[in-house]
Amino acid sequence: MDAATAAERLAALMAERVDHRFKGLPPDAEGLTLAELTAERRNLFTGGFTTPVLALSAERLEHNLTLMETYAARHGLAFAPHGKTSMAPQLFQRQIEHGAWGITLAAPHQVRVARAFGVRRIFLANELVDAAALRWIAAEQAADPDFRFICYVDSVRGVELMDAALRGRGTSRPMEVVVELGAGEGARTGVRTEADARAVADAVAVAPTLRLVGVAGYEAQVPGASPERVRGWLGRLVGLAAEFDKAGRFAGADEIVVSAGGSEWFDAVADVFATIPELTLPALKLLRSGAYVSHDDVHYSRLTPFNRVPEEGALEPAFRLWAQVVSRPSPDQAFVNAGKRDAAYDLDHPVAHVVRRDGTERPATGIEVTALSDQHLWLHTAPEADVEVGDWIGLGLSHPCTSFDKWQLIPVAEADGTVVDYIRTFF
């Protein structure tokens, strides 16, 4: 797909009409296109939006995009932000405009979404043994010389299945693969030992449809992850790249891909990747953080590497979920009209930040989220909590990935509440 078509597809998102499919959008905007609604610059609090509504902060989003762009550049890392976090082509585009090499994804349908919006470089951080998906990707590559696709391999059988699916398909070029090194015994995917990695690389070497271009893995899966253990595992990954290079296993590649890094350990990735020795080909040191884009108020706020290297900056939580108090049945209880359908709850409960009444906001002192039902948040209210039926509660969330996926259309609001954009997601 050429750049003009990709731009048209993105622009077409704004031609979509507002209706019942999109939670929280103003009922009186029914029938407007998103472009028309954006032009109205409605206010999130007074413009007819209904609760619950999830909003992204325009300023914070831009801050996070810029911070990771500069972080990656400062450390000599290429960046393929994990797209599964947002599944939002508009954000993919902004990440690419902010210097990203490409987009990381996890599943074939996610690749289809990215390709539908013209993403040219895709790193699939998973082994792909689905024959229909492999054939489709091969066809995409045949049709588009600019489309670069790299995926994991972690088993000899996987390599054989890939090769079988791609053979005779008239593939214009071999599919590029990287051996995934598992993060340790009992961890998630990836070969467990260097010997296993060699066996998988041997299998790739005799598969004409595949080309080995690097090594990769995911340090957040290191069992009992600590700075020492994560660095130890990253050291093994780098050692494997050097060993394979020395053994000539990357013959035919243009560059050697070494990839790791979510949003919890990119400081360690930057440090250890800086020690990659001179290889026979240029190294593409590929970082894959995804959660950074919205960041969050609990899990990632606690674990962000910027807590260890504050001199390099700080990400800012960009989500705020607005829900309304619909019941205050006892002095120590209140209920708002958002629940598991609206808020991430797999890692931590949401946290109440502010109470909004009659256009003024104050801190949500004494208000704690204690449980979630499908459509309710349970709030425990201490004696000092000033909260009434009708108040809007602004909540912070934990875990970006499971926040984005509950919303098909997310207003992007400036600090004063002016909505300046709408982000469409495709989960």
For 39, phi then psi, to 5°, come to -65, -25
Per CB under 6 A, the list member of 51, 90, 289, 301 interacting with ligand PLP is 289
CB of 166 to ligand PLP, least distance (A): 23
Nearest to 182 by CA among 137, 255, 233, 252: 233
Number of residues binding to ligand PLP, judged by CB under 6 A: 12
Site for ligand PLP in 401-420 (CB under 6 A): none
Determine, following the binding rule CB under 6 A, whether residue 214 of this chain makes contact with ligand PLP: no
Is 180 near ligand PLP (CB under 6 A)? Answer: no
Pick from 57, 64, 263, 398: which binds ligand PLP (CB under 6 A)? 263
Percent of residues in the chain assigned helix, strand, coil, to nearest 5? 35, 25, 40
Nearer to ligand PLP, 296 or 342 (CB): 296
Nearest distance from C-beta of residue 280 to ligand PLP, angstroms: 27
| Residue 44, token pair as written in the block | 């999130």
Would you call the peptide bond into 52 cis, given omega within 30 degrees of 0 as the criterion? yes
The closest residue (CB) to ligand PLP is 262
Question: Tokens 């979920």 — which residue?
Answer: 321
**∠ Cα 18 23 28 (to 5°):** 45
| Segment interacting with ligand PLP (CB under 6 A) among 135-143, 278-286, 288-296, 333-341 | 288-296
CB distance 175 to 137 below 8 Å: yes
Site for ligand PLP contains 291 (CB under 6 A): yes
Interatomic CA distance for residues 244 and 198, integer angstroms: 8
Q: Is 299 in the site for ligand PLP (CB under 6 A)?
A: no
Whole-number minimum distance, CB 262 to ligand PLP, in Å?
Answer: 2
What's the CA gap between 7 and 18, in Å, rounded?
21
By CB under 6 A, the residues from 112 to 151 that bind ligand PLP are 125
219 near ligand PLP, rule: CB under 6 A: no
In DSSP notation, 278-321 reads P-SS-EEEEE---GGGT--SSHHHHH-GGGT-GGG------EEE
Nearer to ligand PLP, 241 or 354 (CB): 241
Q: Which is nearer to ligand PLP, 218 or 244 (CB)?
A: 218
- Residue closer to ligand PLP by CB (options 315, 355) is 315
Please, which residue, 51 or 86, has the CB nearer to ligand PLP? Answer: 86
- CB nearer to ligand PLP: give 51 or 263: 263
Q: Is residue 259 within a helix (H) or strand (E), and if so which, with residue range?
A: strand 256-260
Interaction between residue 334 and ligand PLP (CB under 6 A): no
- Closest to ligand PLP by CB, 53 or 225: 225
Told to check if 290 binds ligand PLP by CB under 6 A, we report: yes
Residue 262 interacts with ligand PLP (CB under 6 A): yes or no: yes
Could you identify the residue written with the tokens 């996890």? 106
Residues paired with 123 in a beta bridge? 104, 150
Task: Compute the least distance from the CB of residue 296 to ligand PLP, in Å.
Answer: 10
Q: Which of 264, 267, 296, 297 binds ligand PLP (CB under 6 A)?
A: 264
CA atoms within 13 A on the CB side of 114: 35
Contacts of 56 (CB under 8 A, 6+ apart): 294, 318, 319, 410, 411, 412, 413, 423
The distance of closest approach from Cβ of residue 303 to ligand PLP in the complex, given in angstroms and rounded to an integer, is 8
Based on CB atoms, which residue is closest to ligand PLP, 176 or 264?
Answer: 264
- Among positions 61-90, residues that touch ligand PLP (CB under 6 A) are 82, 85
The window from 108-116, 134-142, 286-294, 324-332 that contacts ligand PLP (CB under 6 A) reads 286-294
Q: Residue 356 and residue 25: Cα distance in Å, rounded?
A: 19
Span interacting with ligand PLP, options 10-18, 249-257, 262-270, 347-355, rule CB under 6 A: 262-270
Which of 322/407 has CB closer to ligand PLP? 407
- Per DSSP, the residues of 4-21 read HHHHHHHHHHTTPBP-TT
Closest C-alpha among 291, 284, 244 to residue 266: 291
DSSP strand E in 263-418: where?
Answer: 283-287, 319-330, 333-336, 351-357, 360-363, 367-372, 377-381, 392-396, 409-413
290 versus 411: smaller Cβ distance to ligand PLP: 290
Residue numbers at the binding site for ligand PLP (CB under 6 A)? 82, 85, 125, 218, 220, 262-264, 288-291
